[in-house]
Amino acid sequence: MSCTTILIGKSATYDGSTIIARNDDSGHGKYDPKRFIAVNPENQPRHYRSVLSHVEMDLPDDPCRYSIAPNALNNRGVLAEAGINVRNVAMTATETIAVNERVLAADPMVELEPASGDAQSADYVPERPGGIGEEDFITLVLPYVSTAREAVLRLGGLLERYGTYEANGIGISDVNEVWYVETIGGHHWIAKRVPDDCYAAIPNQLGLDDFDIEDALGGRHRDQQQVEQQQRDQRQHMCSADLDTWIQAHHLDRSMDKSPEHRRHLNPRRMFGTATAKDHIYNTPRAWYMQRYLNPSHDWDSSQARYTPISEDIPWCRRPENAISIGDIDFLMSSHYEDTPYDVYGSRGTEESRHRYRPIGINRNGHLGILQIRPYEPPANSAVIWLSFGSNPFTSVAPFYANVRTTPEYLSETTGEVTTDSWYWTNRIIAAIADPHFVENGNAIEHFRENILSYGDRLLVQTDVISRHDEHVPDILEQSNETMADYLRSQTNELLAQVLYTSSNLMRNSFTMSDR
């Protein structure tokens, strides 16, 4: 699916948290309802079968509890999308990316091949399952890991064994580290740790632009007794076991640099990725805008600017000029090129320029999950999922504790029925009514966002204080989530009323003379 991801190391955030965040966008012409649920160990499958690819496998019998933001309808599988487990490991999966034709020739995708022929005849060919993908990653990894590194290695092992049918980027974090994994072809993968003082801004494009294969392969050990050595060697990079020999065998490295040092600075984006006219419309402008916002002192707009919306070499990660807050992330993931000629709701530029590039905040946003692991709170209450449903420019993220056994019905009971009893559908209605009159409804939406963010911050502080001195932490966190959901519902209904009133007055068939 089309998405936008931002990953933030702990020294680059406002409070020392690790944060991974991602919009999940439905495909063109589809709107996938979203919900927020807790998966308790007894509800985790012991035998798994993918809906999309029909791949099957047995799963370990010792899963831990985790909270996720999956699709409400099961027509394409769980699609957990974003989640945090009780051990405070977070995953967001996945950022759909693209690899080039040379990669696909060297390691084709593992796609479902339906059965053919009559089952009773000699020419019958049974079905061949596909690999794993976005539908599966979080369900297969998150309940079984205790650190981000463990999650990277478990995911990598599954990719090598079962393969994948799509190219994807996966964000993984714990309280200490943030990692980004990219799948390369059907069975290969690379992973890089986000530096503590940096953020990574990622559209639907293979992003990694500097990779140390010596570091990645130096600690490739399967023996559990060698974990310490593995972590020393794989300080910042990990990859599939045969990546080096595979690259050489298929002549994938086109760099003219033949020096030994080149192996410590491979460019995966150039080696494996794409650089097309479509990328200049759909992908590079989003990376440009996120970095423009977080590093505003650079020249982004003049004719001499180093990076433009169509630059193919925008750095994968960068050190921000100021520590990044939840509000910054919410703004960026809702953005539509504000203060530029490319803003679809703006007055600068031309009609053509205002529709030139794909915004981050679009009609097909399904949910935004900002996954925060806070180092200053006890492990029992340190994990928070900041969630919003629907088109991001018309709503706000709200905080919910992840270490819970149940979640509020306002978020968990989403179905295919359009109803204001569901936060997802209420936000979808608000966006559709407000969009034609964005400027006129802007103040109400901005006020709503301020209310939700400020109330959420206060509620977290109050709940944190209580939970530090009470042994029934999950009970306290669940009650806090219910309180947040109640406030969210009241504020969302109020916003709906305001937007409905304003937009009703601006209908094209309006007439001001009333009957006596």
Residues with catalytic function: 3
CB atoms within 10 A of CB 123: 7
Q: Is 317 helix (H, G, I), strand (E, B) or coil?
A: strand
Name the burial class of residue 137, with classes exposed (0-12), middle (13-18) and buried (19+) by CB atoms within 10 angstroms of its CB.
buried
Considering only the C-alpha atoms of the chain, give the largest distance between any 2 of them, rounded to a whole number of Å: 88
Q: Distance (Å, rounded) from C-alpha 239 to C-alpha 153?
A: 9
Distance (Å, whole) CA 460 – CA 353: 42
**Distance from chain centroid for Cα 215:** 26
- Return d(Cα 3, Cα 364) in angstroms, integer: 10
Q: Which amino acid is at 431?
A: A
Between strands 178-184 and 188-193, the pairing is antiparallel
Q: Closest by alpha carbon to 365, among 441, 286, 446?
A: 286
CB-CB contact of 98 with 273 (8 Å): yes
Structure tokens that stand for 132 in this block: 């794993």
N-term to C-term CA, the chain? 55
Torsion angle in degrees (nearest 10) through CA of 243, 245, 249, 255: 70
Separation CA 478–CA 404 (nearest Å):
6
Residue by residue, DSSP assigns 169-191 as: EEEEE-SS-EEEEEEETTTEEEE
SS3 of 361-425: CCCCEEEEEEEEECCCCCHHHCEEEEEEECCHHHCCCEEEECCCCCCCHHHHCCCCCCCCCCHHH
* Among the listed residues 6, 44, 21, the one whose alpha carbon sits nearest the alpha carbon of residue 373: 21
Q: Which residues pair with 71 in a beta bridge?
A: 34
Question: What is the C-alpha separation between 131 and 278, in angstroms, rounded?
Answer: 27
Instruction: With CA atoms as reference, report the closest residue to 413 among 182, 113, 152, 73.
Output: 73
Distances (CA, A) of 308 to 25, 284, 312, 315, 514: 25, 9, 9, 12, 53
DSSP state, 195? P
Whether the Cβ atoms of residue 35 and residue 413 lie closer than 8 Å to each other: yes
With beta carbons less than 8 A apart as the criterion, state whether 369 and 92 touch.
yes
